[in-house]
Amino acid sequence: MRQNVTVLGATGSIGKSTLDVLARHADAFKVFALSANTQVDMLFEQCIQHQPTYAVMVDATCAAQLSDKLKQAGSAVEVLSGEQALIDIASDTEVDQVMAAIVGAAGLLPTLAAAKTGKRVLLANKEALVMSGQLFMQAVHDHGAELLPIDSEHNAIFQSLPLGYGQDPSYQQQIEKILLTASGGPFRGWQFDALSKVTPKQAVKHPNWSMGQKISVDSATLMNKGLELIEACWLFDVAPKQIEVVVHPESIIHSLVQYVDGSVICQMGNPDMRTPIAYGLAWPERIHSGVKPLNLFEVAQLNFETPDHQTFPALKLAAQAFETGGTAATVLNAANEIAVAGFLREQIAFTSISDLIDETLNACTIEAADSLEVILQADAWARRFVEERIQS
């Protein structure tokens, strides 16, 4: 029997890769619903190809445009709009799996809804855990959801851990540390002074991965790795001191797990997100993803470096936020989103992103992140604080 899949963020890079994998296995999976923010034409093409039951556009005007286009094409896809519609397609009783690929805080509520209704959640939206790690993991546990990480690094860690890790406490005693790999981004090796003059065009040009603007800037500042560090702490129940970030510019080894007996187990492959997506969709089995097999003779050499914490302070800020606890990580994430948006609009310098995050963390009042209301209030406060600093 085919599994019904909702893809949140269908027009982004993860969403498009997910649909590519699903199309290769139409006998096993059916696209139940697709969502996008404003990209009407792309979502229209996806609806025509995959014929979901529902299509959701957050923007109501865009939803009306999509509805008209689909009716003219003779498609029966039902178009919905708004944030509640995202929650509805993530929690629908007919849905088996939800690809959570909406970038940023906007993905929190539908992803949490999927967890609360016991779905298999394919987590490509790291902000859901960064903002509300305790609440989210509790929802997964309480409602019997399956949480499978899709970020290439976390998926690699998941593949490198013993089957059943998390259920058997004895496994944690076998783990020495997690080695979280980072490409280093487009400015690896640069000096801090030079970074103040970089442009958005330079920052979004990632050397290995094809990604959206926001996540590309996060990779350039290493904040993406900071957010991944927080995500890994929640996913694998470890402290920041048990995670070592390793700069690996080739992005061939996606992450590693070091065991107490001296063994180090890693997952390798060409840098293509269809590999972790296919793994998540079919787990515990494996299916063809369309990814070209890794040729070690072509790779020939792999390099590893320690991250430059002075030039790229985002990693330390993220680790400190997790250790502070409460709403600190929520504030970190919100401040980063607004600062990155300001940089992309060329209102602030690249180096001001981390400065604004640091200033926001120092100015905020940390509260216990024990309710969604508190988390969303902290998120909104941090966004206002950074926006005011950018405009002043």
> Using one digit for the tens of pLDDT, what is the confidence trace for 102-147?
987 789 999 999 999 999 999 998 888 999 999 999 999 999 999 9
Does residue 6 sit in helix, strand or coil? strand
User: Is this structure's pTM higher than 0.95?
Assistant: no
The maximal CA–CA distance of the chain, rounded, in angstroms, is 64
Residue with tokens 């400065």: 355
Q: Give the per-residue pLDDT at 50.
A: 98
Percent of the chain surpassing pLDDT 70: 99
Residue-range domain boundaries for the chain: 3-150, 158-391
Find residue 264's DSSP bridge partners: 258
pLDDT at residue 284 tops 80: yes
Q: Give the per-residue pLDDT at 104.
A: 76
Q: Give the per-residue pLDDT at 330.
A: 96
Mean pLDDT of the 151-164 span: 93
Q: How far is CA 385 from CA 233, 264, 360, 361, in A?
A: 27, 43, 7, 10
Q: Give the per-residue pLDDT at 210.
A: 65
Fold observed for domain 3-150: Rossmann fold (3.40.50)
> Using one digit for the tens of pLDDT, what is the confidence trace for 223-274?
999 999 999 999 999 999 999 999 999 999 999 999 999 999 999 999 999 9
Mean pLDDT of the 189-197 span: 90
Q: Give the per-residue pLDDT at 274.
A: 98
Q: Give the per-residue pLDDT at 348.
A: 97
> Which bin fits 381, alpha (ψ -120 to 50), beta or left (φ > 0)?
alpha
Q: For residue 232, give both structure tokens.
A: 């890994």
Average of per-residue pLDDT values in the chain? 94
> Using one digit for the tens of pLDDT, what is the confidence trace for 50-86?
999 999 999 999 999 999 999 999 999 999 999 999 9
CB 217 within 8 A of CB 142: no
pLDDT at residue 184 tops 70: yes
> Using one digit for the tens of pLDDT, what is the confidence trace for 329-384?
999 999 999 999 999 999 999 999 999 999 999 999 999 999 999 999 999 999 99
Look at the alpha carbons of 367, 373, 376, 377 in this order and tell me if their dihedral is positive or negative: negative
Q: Give the per-residue pLDDT at 314.
A: 94
- Class assignment of domain 158-391? mainly alpha
In angstroms, rounded to a whole number, what is the distance separating the alpha carbons of residues 103 and 151? 12
CB 175 within 8 A of CB 260: yes
pLDDT at residue 168 tops 80: no
Of 40-44, 96-100, 194-198, minimum mean pLDDT range: 194-198
